[in-house]
Structure 1
Amino acid sequence: MPLHRRSLLAITPALAAALSFGRLSHAYSRPAPMDEIRLWPGYAPGGEGVTVTPEVVERSTDPDYNDRIAKHTRDPLLTVVRPVQSNGVSMLLIPGGGYRWAVVDKEGMDCARVFAVMGYTCYVLRYRLPADGWAAGPDAPLQDAQRALRLVRAHAATEGRSADRTVVLGASAGGHLAGLLGARSDATYAAVDAADQHSHRPDALILLYPVATLTDPYAHSGSRRELLGESASPDQIAAYSLEQMDWSGAAPTFLLHAMDDTAVPVENALMLSATLRQAGVPVEVHLFEEGGHGFGIRLIEGRPAAVWPDLVRAWLGRRGL
Structure 2
Amino acid sequence: MTMDRRTLLGLAGAVVASPALAQQTLSPRHPTPTIAPPDPTEIIRLWPNGAPGGEGVSVTPVVPERSTDPAFHDRYAQYTTDPILTVFRPERPNGSALLLIPGGGYRWAVLDKEGYDVARVFAETGTTCFVLRYRLPADGWAAGADAPLQDAQRALRLIRSRAADYGLKPDRIGVLGASAGGHLAGLASARTDATYAPVDAADTVSLRPDLTVLMYPVATMEDPHVHAGSRTHLLGETPTPERIAAYSLERMDWKDAAPVFLVHAMDDASVPVENSLQLLTTLKAAAVPAEAHLFQEGGHGFGVRLIQGRPAQVWPDLVRAWAARLDFPL
CA RMSD of aligned residues (A): 1.3
Task: Please tell me whether residue 259 in structure 1 is matched to residue 266 in structure 2.
Answer: yes
Runs of 4+ residues over 6 Å off in structure 1: none
For the residue of structure 1 that corresponds to 2:115, the secondary structure is helix
Could you tell me how far apart the structure 2 residues matched to 1:295 and 1:166 are? 24
Structure 2 partner of 1:273 = 280
Could you tell me how far apart the structure 1 residues matched to 2:100 and 2:322 are? 17
TM-score scaled by length of structure 1: 0.92
Deviation, structure 1 residue 27? 5.3
Deviation, structure 1 residue 32? 4.1
TM-score scaled by length of structure 2: 0.90
- Contact 2:57 2:141 survives alignment (8 Å): yes
Pick the aligned partner of 1:87 from 69, 94, 110.
Answer: 94
Structure 1 partner of 2:152 = 145
Structure 2 partner of 1:131 = 138
Q: How many residues align?
A: 303
Pick the aligned partner of 2:255 from 248, 251, 268.
Answer: 248
Could you tell me how far apart the structure 2 residues matched to 1:103 and 1:95 are? 6
Task: Please tell me whether residue 289 in structure 1 is matched to residue 296 in structure 2.
Answer: yes
Pick the aligned partner of 2:28 from 15, 31, 38.
Answer: 15
Task: Please tell me whether residue 62 in structure 1 is matched to residue 69 in structure 2.
Answer: yes
Deviation, structure 1 residue 198? 1.2
For the residue of structure 2 that corresponds to 1:130, the secondary structure is coil
For the residue of structure 2 that corresponds to 1:262, the secondary structure is coil
Could you tell me how far apart the structure 2 residues matched to 1:28 and 1:212 are? 35
- Contact 2:181 2:217 survives alignment (8 Å): yes
Pick the aligned partner of 1:39 from 46, 59, 62.
Answer: 46
Deviation, structure 1 residue 157? 2.6
Distance 1:61 1:69, change over 3 A: same
- What is the correspondence of 1:99-138 to structure 2 with a 5 Å cutoff? 99-138=106-145
Unaligned runs of 5+ in 1: 1-11
Pick the aligned partner of 2:170 from 133, 152, 163.
Answer: 163
How many percent identity over aligned positions? 66
- Contact 1:29 1:65 survives alignment (8 Å): yes
Distance 1:85 1:28, change over 3 A: farther
Question: For 1:98-143, what per-residue CA distance to the aligned partner results, in whole angstroms no more than 9, with x for missing partners?
Answer: 0000110000000000000010000000000000000000000000
Could you tell me how far apart the structure 1 residues matched to 2:191 and 2:33 are? 40
AA at the equivalent of 1:252? P
- What is the correspondence of 1:171-250 to structure 2 with a 5 Å cutoff? 171-250=178-257
Structure 1 partner of 2:33 = 26
